[in-house]
Structure 1
Amino acid sequence: MLKELWAIREEVRDRNPLVYNITNTVVTNFTANVLLAAGASPIMSEGAAEAEDLARICSALVLNIGTLHTRQINYCLKAGEYANKYQKPVVLDPVGVGATAYRNIIAGQILQDVRVDLVRGNYGEISFIAGVDAQVRGVDNTGTAIDLPAIQKMSGEYSALVAATGAVDYLLDGRQVHVNRTGHPLLQLVTGTGCALSSLAGAFLAVAEDRKLGVLAALAFYGAAAQKAAENSKGPGSFATRFLDTLYNLSFKDFKKIAADKVYQQQPLEESLTENDAMEPETSITEA
């Protein structure tokens, strides 16, 4: 499987997909740099007047509700409508859903009005959308449990892939569960790493024939780059720089070494897991 996932990573570099981001103001620069380092092409937009033009030419659309305001909400819905029209994959990052009624309503409206291909969030955000009690404080995930059957049901209801990322990443498609255990805790100490992962998943979705494998490839590649970057990092500052460099330079040899036995399909589907139950002693985190 690792060769197949790496082939998708190489396809991103070869095809340079254009990822159309309507994202939050905190993470714009970091997200763009992650996409560039991985071989994708970012475009950040705040103007609804260009929604149709960008939806027509983009490879994927990412909707991130991290810093909500009325104009952005209307833009997200309009861009999503055009992305659906032009059959471009749509990624929703429901940042902070579960923390406020406002975010809850908007996330629900997007899921109702836009055909979303992937919902990517932390355990708390995904659990909330799935109807499971979850603790969310701001953009942080304060819960440790994950109810996979409930999230599997959510995936089927929205006909969307769902990536619940945390100590262990779970990718669900309504039928199967894939697991990714690559990553490093320093990702939690750099603002925007979760948001950037959502946008990177959009790039991988855009080039993959099997979109599920595309998202899995993004999760595994991102986490492997984080593990490699952390080897010579002294803290979050040096890690952020090394992480971008590693996204650019990571070889298949290093990817294979890091990801071996950490990316797989999980059978059977377990009723629920906690981070402590799911983690191996050296398992790290791919969420911030």
Structure 2
Amino acid sequence: MSNLLTLQSSKYGVTERKKQELDELSQKVLNAESLVEQLEAIVNSLTDKSNKLKTDLATAETNKNKALSNKDLVDEVVENLLTLKNNSELTFNETVLAESKIKKVSKEISHLIDKLIFSAEIINKLGNLVIRTKATNPLISDELVTMVTTASSDANNAVALTLVALQSVFAAQATTKESEAAVALEMLQAIKLYEFVIGDDTVDNIQSDVPLSPATSIRGLLYTAYVISENMYNQALAASNDTIKQLNNTKRELSKAQINLSSLQAGYAAANAAALAS
């Protein structure tokens, strides 16, 4: 009887110990299942977040590329405007120089006409004197009369031709003045347009670490837009990379947790089967 009680007591102790072990294994399985569920939820959340950040990154990259294209375009426009401004200033200076030279030529021609008129008057007087003298003095040759008459005619023709030349110079001077006014207007417009595009903003002051530069010109605003879009892209890229890193780490933890859960479930099933068999 004592041996029977001892056997029953021993059997009861073994059963309680196995039950305790099964309870402990069951709790570990539950804990492992809870951890797997938590990690799966985190993976799903990070996956959604990563997908959204990838979309945001693609948008940020598109915006940055557009801003860069605009920045390059305004640089090209500035170069063209600078060339136009320089050419306008050069043309204006050349026009002013040409007008100055034309004024000088007109003065020289005026002086020449004065001298020609004086010479023509002298020659005409000499010719009249020779002709009158010829009428009273047959010794004066006909050749001298012819030479004096020809000289008088040539002098008058020279005066007439010089007057025509002076008139042409005046016409050229008037045209040059009109051209100078037009070129001056073009030059002023080119300068104003160039200054409007570049403004007083200093491009070197637009730094990548400044979120918003106080730019007011077209070039300054486009440069600022590029800096902002570049910063936004870098921030989106950093956020996306960080989320991907977190997601990969969590996936690795989830994989380990799933392996651990499978191992615990297998161990629990084996222990439970052994307990039932005994």
TM-score calculated relative to the size of structure 1: 0.19
Q: Which has the higher contact order (CA 8 A, sep 6+)?
A: 2
Structure in which a larger fraction of residues adopt helix: 2
Question: What TM-score results when the alignment is normalised by the length of structure 2?
Answer: 0.19
> Which one has a bigger Cα radius of gyration?
2
